[in-house]
Amino acid sequence: MKHHMNEARLALYLHGDLADAERWAVARHVEACPECQNTLDDLSRSHELLVGSFEEPTPNELAALRGAVVARMRTHRRGQDWRIWTFAAPAVVAMVILLANLRLQTQSPPPRVAPPAVPPVAMKLSQPPPAIARKIEIARVRRKRLAPGARAVTLLTRTEQPAWLKIKTSDPDVVVLWQLNENEKAETP
């Protein structure tokens, strides 16, 4: 026979990787062509050697794999737990501090001791009226009129207590509280 089959085609024919029509054509050719039959035999021999050279994993290898995977999984999980706590711990501490503060703020003030009974007239004459907290906003000006970063200035006064200037800045987390001396106290309207 003058023409022989392409080896690549024979290699595909060997394990049924050709379409039906092509497979029949190759089968007919190989039957009549001893050289192509030899090539096919060589391909088959090579395949047999390939398959015979590999073994299944041994039970020991499988057990070692399983043990190592499980051990690494447990280590990984412990690592994950620690990583979670690295982030969670500060959050928990912050939460506890916040709750403690809230609780302190919401606690009712200690009961006041009732002042001795004094006739109203006497009280009016000898004592000033009871202190009333006053909050007077004296300025809420545009940013450009204040120092860079300052947004608003508020004067907080309480009778018989030094006055405070509260300066809000452009950073919502930063508020400047400035205690005024007596001679600095601004005039209140």
Partner 1 sequence: MEMAAVSLMCHFAVEPESLRLLIQAAKAGDLASFEQIVVLYERSVLRLAQRLLPNREMAQDAAQEVFLRLHGKLGKFQEEKDLGPWLYRITVNICHDLRRRVKPGLPLELAPILPDQGLNPEESTLLAQQRELIAAALDGLTERERDVIVLRDLEGLSTAEVARILGSTATTVRSQISTGRVKMKNFVMDQLGRNI
Residue number, 14 or 152, with CB nearest to partner 1: 14
Q: Give the residue from 38, 29, 41, 22 showing the smallest Cα distance to 4.
A: 29
CA separation for the pair 124, 112 (Å, rounded): 20
Cα distances from 112 to residues 18, 108, 127, in angstroms, run 101, 11, 18
Instruction: Indicate whether 150 belongs to the interface with partner 1 (CB under 8 A).
Output: no
Instruction: Indicate whether 69 belongs to the interface with partner 1 (CB under 8 A).
Output: yes
Among 4, 28, 74, 135, binds partner 1 (CB under 8 A): 74
Yes or no: say if 30 and 12 are a contact pair by the CB < 8 Å rule. no
Smallest gap, in angstroms, from Cβ of residue 155 to partner 1?
Answer: 57
CA separation for the pair 11, 39 (Å, rounded): 9
Smallest gap, in angstroms, from Cβ of residue 49 to partner 1?
Answer: 6
Helix H or strand E segment including 156 = strand 150-158
Instruction: Indicate whether 70 belongs to the interface with partner 1 (CB under 8 A).
Output: yes
Instruction: Indicate whether 76 belongs to the interface with partner 1 (CB under 8 A).
Output: yes
Instruction: Indicate whether 55 belongs to the interface with partner 1 (CB under 8 A).
Output: yes
Residue number, 17 or 184, with CB nearest to partner 1: 17
Instruction: Indicate whether 81 belongs to the interface with partner 1 (CB under 8 A).
Output: no
Partnered with residue 134 across adjacent β-strands are 157
Contacts of 29 by beta carbon, 8 Å cutoff, 6+ apart: 1, 5, 36
Among 3, 20, 32, 52, binds partner 1 (CB under 8 A): 52
Stretch that binds partner 1, among 20-28, 74-82, 88-96, 158-166 (CB under 8 A): 74-82
Q: Give the residue from 156, 161, 159, 158 showing the smallest Cα distance to 139.
A: 156
For partner 1, the binding residues in 11-40 under the rule CB under 8 A are 11-12, 14-15, 17, 39
- Please report, as ranges, the residues that interact with partner 1 according to CB under 8 A: 7-9, 11-12, 14-15, 17, 39, 42-43, 45-47, 49-57, 61-62, 64-66, 68-70, 72-74, 76-77
